[in-house]
Amino acid sequence: MAKAAQVEEAAATQVTFLEAIRQAMFEEMERDPAVVLIGEDVGVYGGAFKCSAGLLERFGWERVMDTPIAETGLIGAAFGMSILGLRPIAELQFIDFIACCFNQITNFVAKSHYRGGPPAAMVIRGPSAGGQHSGPLHSQNPEMYFVHTPGLKVIYPSTPYDAKGLLKSAVRDNNPVLFIEHKYLYRRIKEELPREEYTVPIGKAMVRRPGRHLTIVSYAAMMHTSLAAAEELAREGIEAEVIDLRTLLPLDKETILNSVRHTNKLLIVHEDTRTGGIAGEIAAIVCEEAFDDLDGPIERVTSLDTPVPFAPTMEEYFLPNAEKVAAAARKLAKY
Amino acid sequence: MKHPLKREQLLELYYFMKLNRELEDAMVRLFRQNKLMSGLYQSLGQEAISIGTAYALEERDWLAPMIRNIGAMLVKGFPPRDVFTQHMARLTAPTRGKDSTSHFGDYKRRAVGPISMLGDLIPVMTGVAMAGRYLGQNIVTLTWIGDGGSSTGAFHEGLGLAASQRAPIIVVIENNQWAYSTPVARQVPLKDLADRAKAYGIPSFIVDGNDVLAVYDVTKDAVELCRAGNGPVIIEAKTHRMKGHAQHDPAEYVPKEMFEYWKARDPIARFEKYLTDNKLWTEAGRKEILARIEREIAEDQKFAEESPMPPPEMAAEGVYCESGCHDIRPEWKRPVAEVTPPRSSVKSEWTVSNEDGYGEWQQPAEARDLAGAAGNGGGAAARPDGRNGGARNRKSKPARVTKSKGRR
């Protein structure tokens, strides 16, 4: 009985990825009245995925704003609020809809500082990615459009701890931050979070699993896929070092290069499509700065260069998985 | 005039309009001498709109110019040298050579610089208006859009959001008859672009854009409406673009008769006649204003021409604000306690009352009435079970006079 009670208590303090995001917003709004939330159905309904459940009750109609279905309108308004010194968090119901406000983000928000004004201190966040049979328009990974936009920061976390700590850092950052939430992780990943206040620095990758035979660089859900592959590889005697990028822009080159310098082999895994994915950028950086340290070709495991298909059979074929990652790692380990 | 102006103010209006025109004339000369690094968008014939609207704002109010609103920036306190240096890509320019033309602002002066994409300032200035209300600053925001720009999605998304929020923003549609080469009749089947306001249930005005006093007067009305919580407001100022889209465009597509019609209604000539007819200035006084303008333009042009270009390596700077280069914090003009828990806490549910200031729920009209009004006879506009009205019919009447409660 005592043991069961302990287990139950431990389970009670386990926080989902989604709850971590809610906690971050809640705590930041509690800390600073300049922080407001704007989006579609974020108020009474608490957000399409319930990320903002309870925020309206606590902070009221002025700080939790439901908008018409107008992504350009709400991102523009969030930018306008930032001009007066507020720190708005703008929620996109699905990150796919970021295409509707691409102009506001890339031309207005991101360039604000470079064009002579203060930066737009705001966060744009929303659920992304596939693996849940949501079809081509609710499963996308749009990060590289924005990694290619100087002036933005782009965060794509993989754990509840990081999601909370990075979102809090994003709210406090003076620059506009795109915070992408892999919705496959929302309710699947849980961990215990510190009771005390903490933040996670933007722009720092971390080594999730040390290894010496090759480096696997990944982020978001594919970080978990890479860890699963590393587990399998370990049973075969291949020790893979797994790096979680956490922030895509600015990219933490040092952590990647340091790892490659001691494993001498690099595999990059992302759920984004292949052409123009961040793997290409990382490969270029490693070739420029650590070419002599490489003992084999830089490999990548990515989604196909297609839209995200709906049918589970096709989506599974489209996405990377642990088997595909392990296969690429085995090939690379032979060099 | 409903909002009378003192003689000095009338002369100041003239000063700004004439400065606007002379400044642009000086810029045309520089353009022809190849001394501008950028294109040049003139507001010839439209000066009364920039000046009259901006002059109706108070210092605390915010504006965001479009390409033909350099005059408004002059009213807001930007010197001609900012315009020269912007076009000449100098280090001394407001954007330090990072951007061109009228793409500059200054948050300290409460001006937001535009981007080239039309309509996007409307949601942005809606956000400024919403934030101003939240912070208790009692500000009004104002921006301009052309007849062409009023077709963009951003225009509609911005105004829809502004209307749903009752944001204190004024959108001035400068109907200058041409979107580049396309006449207004080929853009939108409306006689008056002010009618766009009907779609948002907001007040609108139509004004002769070549009459600076009328423009000022109507903008004052709009400011009062916004200040009282009855924004947003659309003002359509009817005018004519007297040059091409930019310097490169000879505007051969504009019928000669149109140019002649509007030339006879030149806003500056008209205002000069008004000042003379009403004995508001003397010849000496007029010459004094002109001499001042000439001097200021010459000085600022010299300043710009003598200013250096930015050093090449500056291109790599200023993408991000790190290590505290900006201190971003709001200016509270109301007790913070009002927006922090527990005072901010509410019951999270939609109600049929007017508690949050969005307007009261009204029972939908009979289905057949709506069907008749919609003119489609299909009854698709309403359901007999009343579901069309939803739990919250946010705005039941186009003309609102109720003040919002619980929102400032």
> How far apart are alpha carbons B176 and B68 in whole angstroms?
11
Residues A235 and A177 in one domain: no
Mean pLDDT confidence for B23-34: 97
- Which residues in A lie closer than 8 A to residue B339 (C-beta atoms)? 33, 59-60, 62-63
Round to whole Å and give the CA distance between B345 and B342: 5
Spatial separation of the C-alpha atoms in residues A190 and A192, rounded to whole Å: 7
* Intra-chain end-to-end CA distance of chain B, in Å: 29
Could you give the count of Cα atoms lying within 13 Å of B57 in the half-sphere of its Cβ? 28
Asked if omega into A250 is within 30° of 0 (cis), the reply is: yes
User: Chain B partners of A118 at a C-beta cutoff of 8 Å?
Assistant: 107, 321, 326, 328
User: 């409903």: which residue's tokens?
Assistant: B2
* Per-residue pLDDT tens digits for B277-292: 999 999 999 999 999 9
Domain boundary pick from A192, A226, A258 = A192
Q: Which of B96, B126, B349 sits opposite A80 (nearest CB)?
A: B126
Q: Which of A328, A315, A263, A258 is nearest to A294 (CA)?
A: A263
In whole angstroms, what is the distance from residue B61 CA to residue B82 CA?
Answer: 21
Residues 353-392 of B with CB under 8 A from A: 356
Count of structural domains, chain A:
2
Query: From the CA of A178, how many Å to the nearest CA of chain B?
Result: 14
Residues linked to residue A177 through DSSP beta bridges, in sequence order? A123, A153
Domain for residue A2, yes or no?
A: no
Say yes or no: A212 and A166 in one domain: no
Nearest to residue A152, comparing CAs of A90, A109, A93, A191? A109
Would you say residue A1 lies in a domain? no
Task: Using the predicted structure, report yes or no on whether residue B390 has a pLDDT greater than 90.
Answer: no
Chain A partners within 8 Å of B344 (Cβ): 58-60, 62-63
- pLDDT for the residue numbered B353: 65
CATH number, domain with residue A306:
3.40.50.920
Shared domain for A29 and A164, answered yes or no, is yes
In this structure, what token pair is assigned to residue B340? 């922090």
Question: pLDDT-based confidence at B364, cuts 50/70/90?
Answer: low
Return the number of other C-beta atoms located less than 10 Å from residue A265's C-beta: 24
B47 touches chain A (CB under 8 A): no
- Which among B4, B72, B59, B20 has a CA at the least distance from the CA of B213? B4
Question: In terms of domains, do A27 and A152 share one?
Answer: yes
Domain boundary among A170, A192, A214: A192
Find the DSSP H helices in chain A: 2-12, 17-31, 55-59, 71-83, 102-103, 143-147, 160-172, 221-235, 253-263, 278-290, 312-318, 322-333
Q: Do B350 and A44 touch (CB under 8 A)?
A: yes
Query: Does the residue A198 lie in any domain?
Result: no
Q: Are residues A148 and A72 both part of a single domain?
A: yes
What are chain B's domains?
Answer: 7-316 (3.40.50.970), 347-408 (no CATH)
What is the DSSP-derived secondary structure letter of residue B106? Answer: B
pLDDT digits (tens, 9 = 90+) for A132-154: 999 999 999 999 999 999 999 99
Q: Using a CB–CB cutoff of 8 Å, tell me whether B323 touches chain A.
A: no
pTM for the whole structure? 0.92
| A104 contacts B126? CB cut-off 8 A | no
A114 touches chain B (CB under 8 A): yes
Domain that residue A159 falls in: 7-192
Q: Within a domain: residue A199?
A: no
Please indicate, yes or no, whether residues A168 and A245 belong to a single structural domain of this protein: no
Task: Report how far residue A109's alpha carbon sits from residue A10's, in angstroms, rounded to the nearest whole number.
Answer: 43
pLDDT grade, residue A75 (50/70/90)? Answer: very high
CB-CB contact of B133 with B167 (8 Å)? yes
Contact A147, A180 (CB under 8 A): no
Cβ contact A150–B319 (<8 Å): yes
Please list every residue in chain A whose beta carbon sits closer than 8 Å to the beta carbon of residue B131: 80-81, 83-86
Residue % of chain A over a pLDDT of 90: 96
What is the CATH classification number for the domain harbouring A67? 3.40.50.970
Q: Which candidate in A66, A84, A106 is best for mutational testing of the B interface (most B CBs within 10 A)? A: A84
pLDDT in tens, A149-195: 999 999 999 999 999 999 999 999 999 999 999 999 999 999 999 99
Say whether A61 and B407 touch across the interface (CB within 8 A).
yes
Same-domain pairing of A19 and A57: yes
Which pLDDT tens digit goes with each residue over B302-339?
999 999 999 999 999 999 998 778 999 999 999 999 99
Check whether residue A16 and residue A90 sit in a common domain.
yes
Cα(A214)–Cα(A224) distance, integer angstroms:
17
Domain boundary among A158, A192, A226: A192
A36 touches A9 (CB < 8 A): no
Distance CA A189, CA A8 (A): 17
DSSP B131-186: HHHHTT----EEEEEETTGGGSHHHHHHHHHHHHHT--EEEEEEE-SEETTEEGGG
**Do A250 and A145 sit in the same domain of this protein?**
no
For residue A31, count other CB atoms closer than 10 A to its CB. 13
- Specify the DSSP element, H or E, that contains A249: strand A247-249
Please indicate, yes or no, if residue A41 is contained in any of the structural domains. Answer: yes
A19 and A153 co-located in one domain: yes
Specify if A197 maps to a domain: no
Picking from B158, B321, B328, the nearest residue to A76 by CB comes out as B158
Tokens 């749009």 found at = A142
Q: Look at residue A89 and tell me if it is in a domain.
A: yes
Exposed / middle / buried, residue A183 (Cβ in 10 Å: 0-12, 13-18, 19+): buried
Q: Which tokens in the block code for residue B22? A: 């002379």
- Same domain? A185 vs A229: no
Helix (H, G, I), strand (E, B) or coil at A14: strand
**A10 band by pLDDT with thresholds 50, 70 and 90:** low
Is residue A201 a part of any domain in this protein?
Answer: no
Residue B27 has pLDDT above 60, yes or no: yes
Cβ contact, residue pair A174, B122, below 8 Å: no
pLDDT in the model for residue A251? 98
Same domain as A285, residue A263: yes
Instruction: Work out the minimum CA distance from B35 to partner chain A, whole angstroms.
Output: 22
Structure tokens given for A327: 């296969």
CB contact (8 A) between residue B115 and residue A83:
no
Give the single-character DSSP code of A261.
H
Q: Which residues of B are part of the catalytic machinery? A: 241, 245, 253
Q: Are A154 and A178 in contact (CB under 8 A)?
A: yes
